[in-house]
Amino acid sequence: MSGRTSFTPQIDETALRCVAQARILYADTDKMGIVYHASYFRYLELARVEMLRSEGLPYTWMEAEGLALPLTEIGVSFTSPGLYDDRISIHAALSRVTHVRVNFQYRVVVEPGHRAATPNAEAVELLRAETRHCCVRRDSGRPAAMPEALVERLRAIQSLGRASARMPGGPTVAPSEDG
């Protein structure tokens, strides 16, 4: 029936850095006792804005340029259920930067010891995701090319992940607070 066998994004794990942490609330759960799938999307937004902010590029800067980066595609694979009071770490990377498109990749995990319910010796992966965005003008909603300076800054952020991946000891995991 379906021509595709999977929406699981092929994540380049070596490029990911921990860019945000958050605590799962009752607000995020459903009656199955686990995190409702749609609750994760605000955490992915949190990761995007904190990753950019930590590199000196707050999203409000894009807005001030008259630009926005609406989502055009999402692919998510839910690996295991998130639980109430889990302290989640959102690892993310810019995986593609052109003048008109940007892709982010994500991996949400509960690091060892961060599951309140049943202390976990190993990291538990909750999901892998990739989001695709296009650049539009805020006033018209029409596609727009990002200025060269912005593209260069985004590419610098993109290469940070790759650089850390090449460092002995693997990627830098810098726990960053929520907000």
CB-wise, 27 or 149, nearer to its own copies? 27
Taken as a whole, the chain contains a residue count of: 179
Q: Shortest approach of its own copies to residue 170 CB, angstroms?
A: 18
CB-wise, 81 or 173, nearer to its own copies? 81
Q: Shortest approach of its own copies to residue 4 CB, angstroms?
A: 6
CB-wise, 86 or 153, nearer to its own copies? 86
CB-wise, 123 or 138, nearer to its own copies? 138
Q: Shortest approach of its own copies to residue 152 CB, angstroms?
A: 17
Torsional sign, CA 124, 90, 146, 163: negative
Rounded to an integer, what distance in angstroms lies between the CA atom of residue 94 and that of residue 176?
Answer: 17
What lies within 8 Å, CB to CB, of 168 at 6+ separation is: none
Tokens 């000891």 correspond to 169
Tokens 């912005």 correspond to 150
Q: Shortest approach of its own copies to residue 12 CB, angstroms?
A: 6
Binding site for its own copies (CB under 8 A): 1-4, 6-10, 12, 15, 21-23, 25-27, 29-34, 36-38, 41-42, 45-46, 49-50, 58-60, 68, 70-78, 81, 84-85, 87, 95-96, 103, 105, 116-117, 130, 132, 138, 141, 177-179
β-partners of residue 104 are: 94, 131
CB-wise, 26 or 122, nearer to its own copies? 26
Rounded to an integer, what distance in angstroms lies between the CA atom of residue 71 and that of residue 19?
Answer: 19
Tell me, what amino acid is at 46?
A: L
Task: For the chain, state the CA radius of gyration.
Answer: 17
Q: Shortest approach of its own copies to residue 33 CB, angstroms?
A: 5
